[in-house]
């Protein structure tokens, strides 16, 4: 499987080298892209999806898969993301940006840490979903080549975190691999140094560290940015670096890396003593990704690989009694793997480009294929339900450039004895600035 993806990515890159294209804009800059050059900018993006899943939705389907092979299909409506952008240019190089995101319809869920009231944890749940402040920053620009941004910022590791708006991927939902093993959208409080010089764009970030107590077998480090408190714990820190190259017109090639300590980054901070002090939970991530746009083709791909030290010790500390708890359950009892991988490639062709009247009207209809492979527990020898390959094919119809109607057949293939998981997804999405 790894060799197949490697060949696909190399082929796509070679094709991009031969045929130039218009490249994507980094999503970390989206809030700054004023539609009309106004000081005040307002915009956003959103998605709504209907799914019919032709497999069991029983939580035990990975424990005793033979019992759920013939379960009926089930349907779901979802609003994965609804986002509002708000930005303002103060002048003299100073600007601000915000991004408020409503996931799955919003929420009233919170956990409050009352340090002054007998160290209580108060948990209230009114509705599923999330409301998050995904970006809130102030920026000083010294020129195209150097900018400083401080506040709550997007962490552009990998393909989808850097380009997460719904018109930047063909599938109805965000590509599953990166969305499963990594925070998505990854956003944290910190400081960013970024700029563009010639054909290169660079970014370096100093961030609060991840929290190893939120790592899991099913989602690897995805929940590591979660904080149940009114603040973001920053006992330890992480560093992010990213470089994008635009030398060839229409081809963007990006590499990104992250390193940081994830243990002892929680509350109360009293475990960093004795033998526990030696448990670091160092996170090392590397990613390669690309986007190619030209000649009515769009192709994208990524390879992400990561390692976390002291995985066994973290499991023993964070999730006791793992031997008697189902591995896919949330909460206590999840074995955590030291290595994870995610790979994706997709390509689509605009068939309306061959119909003059539709092409002149700026309508597009992309016929696409999509393939992924990911595993959040690479070295697992038993219960290998984390090892998944996804095949998808469908269409993206753009009646206008800011709106897409998506439809796909999606087939998630698991290792035996687990049952494969086919689905049909239909979605609508928009992205743009209104002011």
Any residues with CB less than 8 A from the CB of 349 and at least 6 apart, and which? 296, 297, 366, 367, 368
The mean pLDDT value for 336-343 works out to 94
Say how far apart CA 118 and CA 205 lie, in whole Å: 37
- Encode pLDDT of 55-73 as tens digits: 999 988 998 999 999 999 9
Return the pLDDT at 127: 53
Residue 330 neighbours by CB distance under 10 Å: 11
Q: Which residues pair with 50 in a beta bridge?
A: 77, 426
Q: Tens digit of pLDDT for each residue in 275-304?
A: 888 999 999 999 999 999 999 999 999 999
Q: What is the pTM of this model?
A: 0.86
Reply yes or no: is the peptide bond before residue 126 cis, omega within 30 of 0. no
Residue 276, token pair as written in the block:
């526990």
Among 254, 215, 235, CA closest to 339: 215
Over residues 365-393, the pLDDT tens digits come to 999 999 999 999 998 887 899 999 999 99
- Helix ranges restricted to H, 319-367: 356-360
The closest of 269, 273, 214 to 236, measured between CA atoms, is 269
Distance CA 7, CA 252 (A): 18
Share of the chain above pLDDT 70, in %: 82
Q: What is the DSSP letter of 31?
A: G
- Grade residue 429 by pLDDT with cuts at 50, 70 and 90: very high
pLDDT confidence of 179, banded at 50, 70, 90?
very high
Q: How confident is the model at residue 266 (pLDDT cuts 50, 70, 90)?
A: confident
Band of the pLDDT at 24, cuts 50, 70, 90?
low
- Is the model's pLDDT at 308 over the cut of 80? yes
Contact call for residues 199 and 247 (beta carbons, < 8 A): yes
Q: What single DSSP character describes residue 18?
A: H
Q: Check residue 385 and give its pLDDT.
A: 92
Instruction: Quote the pLDDT of residue 315.
Output: 85
Kindly report, residue by residue over 209-224, the tens digit of the pLDDT: 999 988 988 899 999 9
- Per-residue b or e along 252-290, where b marks 16 or more CB atoms closer than 10 Å to that residue's CB: bbbebebebbbbbbbbeeeeeeeeeeebbbbbebbbbbb
Q: Which domains occur in the chain, in start order? A: 2-433 (2.40.160.10)
Strand segments, DSSP code E, in 125-199 are 130-143, 146-154, 187-197
Query: Using one digit for the tens of pLDDT, what is the confidence trace for 134-170?
Result: 999 999 999 999 999 999 999 999 999 999 999 999 9
What does the buried/exposed string (b/e) look like for 389-420 if buried means 16 or more CB atoms within 10 Å of the residue's CB? Answer: bbebbbbbebeeeeebebebebebebeeebbe
DSSP state of 220: B
């Amino acid at each position: 499987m790894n060799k197949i993806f490697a060949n696909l990515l190399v082929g796509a890159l070679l094709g991009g080298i031969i045929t130039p294209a218009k490249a994507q804009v980094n999503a970390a800059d989206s809030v700054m892209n004023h539609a009309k050059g106004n000081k005040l900018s307002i915009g956003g993006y959103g998605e709504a999806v209907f799914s019919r899943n032709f497999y069991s939705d029983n939580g035990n389907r990975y424990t005793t898969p033979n019992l759920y092979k013939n379960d009926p299909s089930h349907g779901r409506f979802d609003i994965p993301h609804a986002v509002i952008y708000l930005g303002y240019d103060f002048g003299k190089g100073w600007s601000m940006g915000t991004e408020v995101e409503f996931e799955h319809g919003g929420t009233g869920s919170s956990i409050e840490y009352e340090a002054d009231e007998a160290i209580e944890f108060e948990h209230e749940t009114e509705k599923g979903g999330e409301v998050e402040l995904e970006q809130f920053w102030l920026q000083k620009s010294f020129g195209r080549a150097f900018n400083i941004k401080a506040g709550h910022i997007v962490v552009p590791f990998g393909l989808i975190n850097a380009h997460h708006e719904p018109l930047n991927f063909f599938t109805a939902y965000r590509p599953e691999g990166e969305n499963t093993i990594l925070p998505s959208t990854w956003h944290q409080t910190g400081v960013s140094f970024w700029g563009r010089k010639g054909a290169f764009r660079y970014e370096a970030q100093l961030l609060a560290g991840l929290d190893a107590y939120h790592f899991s077998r099913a989602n690897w480090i995805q929940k590591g940015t979660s904080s149940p408190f009114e603040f973001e714990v920053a006992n330890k820190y992480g560093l992010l670096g990213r470089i994008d190259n635009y030398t060839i017109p229409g081809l963007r090639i990006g590499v990104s890396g992250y390193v940081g300590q994830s243990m002892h980054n929680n509350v109360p901070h009293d475990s960093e003593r004795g033998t526990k002090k030696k448990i670091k939970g160092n996170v090392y991530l590397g990613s390669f990704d690309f986007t190619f746009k030209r000649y009515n083709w769009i192709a994208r791909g990524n390879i992400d690989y990561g390692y976390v030290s002291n995985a066994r010790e973290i499991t023993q500390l964070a999730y006791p009694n793992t031997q008697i708890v189902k591995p896919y359950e949330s909460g206590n009892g999840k074995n955590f793997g030291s290595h994870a991988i995610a790979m994706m490639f997709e390509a689509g062709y605009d068939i309306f480009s061959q119909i003059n009247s539709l092409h002149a009207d700026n309508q597009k209809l992309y016929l696409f294929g999509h393939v992924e492979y990911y595993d959040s527990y690479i070295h697992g020898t038993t219960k290998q339900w984390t090892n998944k390959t996804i095949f998808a094919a469908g269409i993206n119809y753009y009646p206008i450039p800011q709106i897409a109607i998506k439809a796909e057949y999606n087939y998630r293939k698991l290792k035996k004895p687990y049952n494969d998981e086919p689905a049909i997804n239909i979605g609508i999405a928009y992205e743009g600035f209104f002011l």
